[in-house]
Structure 1
């Protein structure tokens, strides 16, 4: 039976989460603490029998008292096990019949890692009055690199051109450094900002990245690598880490010495570090839904394809509106909130 916990022990919460079949960093207490500083209220839902923690994030829709409820990358169930279906059904019932009226929610959004073709899970969502969303805060597709084989075996699975580019960067003398200073984070952010401008994707304020960095670094769940060559900053990666998975969350690349292929070496260095630390999965975090050459992420898609990992295609966000009126209210307020956040705070809603 699911219940709401007022103030859980964070160590127990994260250890219970880590032992589950599909734990995600967006379900951790550290992510909850961080999002709380960005206008989300964490609601800690827990099943004592299954020792199953589920982080639900609540956000008010100003200026009204209404809110939305969002479950990012949860629950952490074994989506290949038929026994997960009734557990999901019970959770969805708790969200819609207990939390929704209590928090005056006009929308419940659940974004788990079940496969897109998992018919039993899709059926549970449908019978619980959830439908596929048109708004997915997280990518529906990603790519996982299996870190369990030996390093040379992992390298040999990459595309020939990717292996060549890694060796080229090494021959050119590109140096990958493990960074922990605030100054290094600022250098990464400035380069990430220019990367976003070239790729036409939004980049949040530096304050957001700084708070995120400090929040996750304090519990050893963040890593920053920068690529240098003779004093020139060429690129960087901002990684998340939790349980058995490392996430390539943010990347940055410059125009200087691009032909030295620093980003290929950055990825390989990150994978080797993750493997040495005992992680089993390197999550590339995001592939475009369709590899359209006009998609802003098409270049990223081509780059990631070179590592030839296993493509994961998830079911995506599922939405439940308590009434037709709540749907209309959300459709009216969300665009306004989205524009206001970007222009005033340089932030995005989710």
Structure 2
């Protein structure tokens, strides 16, 4: 089938997304307002009957001094990645973006290729001969994703670089998720490891109280977030990013984004940001105070977000990025150990694939972004 790709309105895009069980929050038209430093466009795929059958949010990032852009579709586009005719979906996208002045296209389908259970991950961590989860036989393999990967290669798309860490530029290829469908709170708690269950009970016994906050509480969140950044050695986003994100996402859906605050005896000990689109909820940002770590506010606030996601009808609670390391000497190991305690699973996505349209500019942009950090 021949598809036509053209610009659609934000409202058309939102209606299309609303008819799906879930799409990435990065593929909502509201996300364009969050990434206001990028140009943006909502695109629709139309079949021979004029029906809207696919959609994607494109973010445009220009090279300095050049009127050409990287066209980036984070977490998308939302098309039939299982199609036997993937070229029929992607070729009209390429044609449209070429006319829009793109020197390269980057797509990031949220199609799982492989998954590893908590038990498999624990066994890999305990094995001194294993350093990367990708070297361990997975618990599930998605044949649809395998076929899509082969087709993308044949069409000239460049796959994610081997060994690329989950926190490289762009969206993480490796994430950690807790499946919620068909489970109740008791089953979810039982699925956690003993340390997580003990810490949740300890937080409750210590009197940690988790509440939902509002935009007016973002300065408190930010104070602890900056403290976390200094302790864990990452660069924090500027404060203004967070009120802008709340305003943009809530304009599309009043319950799209939430702020959670964990207090102990009046002291803020942990704070998190939760995003939900239909049946998928994400742990987006987290912060914890250095003081009072022993009251386990981080476990308490995570448990509250998981149970709220369950109550909202979500099928997945997503703790987002990890790396695939299981090496005891790697500083990233602690992150996957923390997340694996929830009893969920590691998920490898297809990752972000690039199609260079102007190879010289594509190379220049790659160098520019690497120097930017």
TM-score higher than 0.5 here? yes
1:53 alignment counterpart: 55
Q: Deviations over 1:46-72 (max 9, x none)?
A: 123352111111111122112100011
Unaligned runs of 5+ in 2: 115-144, 162-167
Distance 1:333 1:275, change over 3 A: same
Match of 2:4 among 2, 5, 24: 2
Answer yes or no: is 1:168 the counterpart of 2:212: no
Match of 2:94 among 93, 96, 101: 96
Answer yes or no: is 1:122 the counterpart of 2:131: no
Residue 291 of structure 1 deviates from its aligned partner by 3.4
Residue 189 of structure 1 deviates from its aligned partner by 1.3
Match of 1:254 among 289, 292, 312: 289
RMSD (Å), alpha carbons: 2.0
Distance 1:196 1:296, change over 3 A: farther
Contact 1:136-1:317 within 8 A present in 2 as well: no
Distance 1:119 1:136, change over 3 A: farther
2:17 alignment counterpart: 17
Residue 20 of structure 1 deviates from its aligned partner by 3.2
Distance 1:295 1:197, change over 3 A: farther
1:346 alignment counterpart: none
TM-score (norm 1): 0.87
Distance between the aligned counterparts of 1:212 and 1:158, measured in 2? 31
Contact 2:29-2:42 within 8 A present in 1 as well: no
Q: Deviations over 1:185-239 (max 9, x none)?
A: 1111121122122222222111112211222233221011110011111001101
Distance between the aligned counterparts of 1:174 and 1:194, measured in 2? 20
Contact 1:114-1:121 within 8 A present in 2 as well: no
Query: How many aligned residue pairs are there?
Result: 328
Q: Deviations over 1:79-122 (max 9, x none)?
A: 5xx4x342x4233212333312x232222111111234632101
1:343 alignment counterpart: none
Contact 1:22-1:77 within 8 A present in 2 as well: no
Distance between the aligned counterparts of 1:2 and 1:23, measured in 2? 21
Distance between the aligned counterparts of 1:89 and 1:237, measured in 2? 40
Unaligned runs of 5+ in 1: 340-350
- State the secondary structure of the residue aligned to 1:289: coil
TM-score (norm 2): 0.82
